[in-house]
Amino acid sequence: VSQRTLVLIKPDAVRRGLVGEILARLERKGLRIEEMRLRTMDADLADAHYADHVEKPFYPPLKEFMLSGPLVSLIVSGDESIPVIRALAGATDGRAAAPGTIRGDLSLSNRENLIHASDSEESAEREIKLWFG
């Protein structure tokens, strides 16, 4: 079944010049870019996007990082795109993520992990509304 999901190419990826590399991996997989926008998050959007995490101890530095520069927001579609992109991204912690994944190949951090992708159909719907209205 085709799914639509929200992807963020995070500020660390923009700073490191990895936007093209990450987009290329999504495109080569056969996924389709439906919408794409470069923007800097603000505090309200961060709190809404990470509503499940705002109370966690890692949230303040995560928020500071996510606001630290421009990121690329995307709507991506394709067959089973939600689990497919999460598999391409790899485990949250770049140090533990498997080689061959975006984080496993390109990140050495639990926070600066290059990419966010919605984790379920419900969160994809919520996050697409939040980012693209």
CA-based angle 74:48:22, to the nearest 5? 25
Asked if residue 110 binds ligand CMP (CB under 6 A), the reply is yes
> Is there a catalytic annotation at residue 49?
no
Q: Cβ of 132: how many Cβ atoms within 10 Å?
A: 13
Fill in the amino acid letter for 109: S
> Please, what is the end-to-end C-alpha distance for the chain in angstroms?
23
Asked if residue 68 binds ligand CMP (CB under 6 A), the reply is no
Among 27, 42, 51, 58, binds ligand CMP (CB under 6 A): 58
CA–CA dist 110, 119 (Å, integer): 17
- Stretch of 26-34, 38-46, 108-116, 120-128 contacting ligand CMP, by CB under 6 A: 108-116
Of 9, 94, 116, 131, the active-site residue reads 116
**122: nearest Cα among 1, 2, 5:** 5
Tell which positions 71-100 bind ligand CMP, by CB under 6 A: 92
113 annotated as ligand-binding:
yes
Q: Which residues are annotated as a binding site for ATP?
A: 10, 58, 86, 92, 103, 113
Q: Report the interface residues with ligand CMP, using CB under 6 A.
A: 53, 58, 62, 92, 110-111, 113, 116
